[in-house]
Amino acid sequence: MNELKKDFPILQNRDIAYLDSGATTQKPYSVIDGIKDFYENYNANPHRGAYSLSIEATTMYENTRDKIAKFINAKHSEEIIFSKNATESLNLLAYSYGLGNLKKDDEIVISIMEHHSNLVPWQKVRDITNAKLNYMYINENYEISDEEIENKITKKTKIVAITHVSNVLGTINNIEKIIKLAHKNGAIVIVDASQSIPHMRIDVQKLDVDFLVFSRT
């Protein structure tokens, strides 16, 4: 643990155990140094200038897209879309794909353990489109059972939006089964991987997920 703490300057300066990473993560030297290097040597608008500094910033920007694609095994770097954070990405999906494809009595399925970022937008989409919003509930082990998944995802389901790992409970959801069943019923799946991406290997091609959302920190 002491070796790990050496990577974080704030933990060198304070005698604390920081337990709020689910909300805001502390930054290691590698991230701080990377940001410092960019602002000191490359800071310019990407894609908006023909001068050398802008071209260099654009190259770094696009190289980051390539690295993320490799990190999650996306087929093409063009599949990587940058937003401000996971909350904005979830809102973007709800208010673009959701509003553009749902109609009265279509069903959206989410879990009862969702972060508000993956709850409130779907409530608003439901109200605007007159679709139905169904919740998958947890059992006494704080898990979504196979029976609950099979009961809630039906032929009427058009969108399943589910957290991979709960930010409150730490529950790891069976997204493989959820994705497979949703696709069998003709639904698309949005996975909130904000809590899982730092801790486990995610292969979007193997999962066959339609949209994977996560924050950079």
The yes-or-no verdict on residue 202 having pLDDT over 90 is yes
The yes-or-no verdict on residue 217 having pLDDT over 70 is no
Question: What residue segments make up the domains of the chain, in order of their start?
Answer: 2-78, 86-213
Class of domain 86-213: alpha beta
Length of the chain: 217
The CA angle 32-71-216, to the nearest 5 degrees, is 40
The CA angle 198-65-183, to the nearest 5 degrees, is 70
CA distance linking residue 5 with residue 25, whole number of Å:
13
What residues does 189 pair with on adjacent strands?
160
Helices 86-93, 120-129: inter-axial angle, 10-degree rounding: 10
User: 49-96, pLDDT tens digit by residue?
Assistant: 899 999 999 999 999 999 999 999 999 999 999 999 999 999 999 999
What is the torsional sign of CA 94, 99, 100, 104?
positive
User: 5-45, pLDDT tens digit by residue?
Assistant: 889 999 988 888 888 877 788 999 999 999 999 999 999 99
